[in-house]
């Protein structure tokens, strides 16, 4: 299971400063069961013992773990995962989420701390639609959303 730790670190999922646990795989801090589940949606890897310093560019600047193959055994659905549609009549299925999480271009884009911070802000916002609209003003965020949309609906 997760390792308890001293509070005060920032949760990698919601940004709360009360992260009390670490992922047993990548050691990323998180604060709750809900954040742990969210973190586990995208496969992670053990931290590399030798990483390049933050200022260096190159292949090792942001390690991108290879996605795990989806489990073949049936998975219990969470209440929020029912096959219902949102107010716009759309819902991403597990296959869509796996395609996004498995994309090298998405995984590389998520090495940008500003993008990760923007996504966490939208996710944690009580007015997510307005936060999303504001984020779309950022060219880097728009580029990221185009990558996601191209995975969901590839153009020939």
Torsion angle of the four alpha carbons 94, 97, 98, 99, in this order, in degrees rounded to the nearest 10: 120
**C-beta separation of 80 from 59 below 8 A:** no
User: Tens place of pLDDT for every residue, the chain, 156 residues?
Assistant: 555 555 568 888 888 878 888 887 888 888 888 888 888 887 777 666 534 444 444 444 565 555 555 545 455 554 444 455 555 556 778 888 888 888 999 999 999 999 999 999 988 889 888 999 999 999 999 999 999 988 888 776
Concatenated DSSP letters for 86-130? -TTS----HHHHHHHHH-HHHHHHTT-HHHHHHHHHHHH-TTHHH
| pLDDT at residue 118 in the model | 92
**pTM recorded for the entire structure:** 0.48
Please give the pLDDT value at position 45: 73
């Amino acid at each position: 299971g997760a390792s308890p730790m001293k509070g005060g670190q920032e949760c990698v999922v919601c940004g709360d400063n009360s992260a009390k646990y670490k992922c047993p795989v990548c050691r990323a801090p998180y604060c709750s069961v809900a954040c742990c589940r969210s973190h586990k949606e995208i496969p992670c890897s053990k931290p590399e013992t030798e990483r390049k310093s933050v200022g260096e560019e190159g292949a090792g600047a942001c390690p991108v773990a290879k996605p795990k193959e989806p489990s073949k055994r049936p998975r219990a659905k969470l209440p929020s995962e029912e096959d219902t549609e949102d107010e716009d009549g759309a819902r991403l299925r597990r296959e869509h989420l796996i395609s996004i999480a498995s994309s090298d271009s998405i995984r590389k884009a998520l090495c940008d701390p500003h993008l990760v911070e923007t996504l966490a802000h939208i996710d944690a916002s009580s007015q997510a639609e307005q936060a999303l609209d504001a984020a779309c003003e950022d060219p880097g965020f728009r580029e990221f959303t185009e990558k996601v949309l191209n995975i969901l609906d590839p153009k020939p």
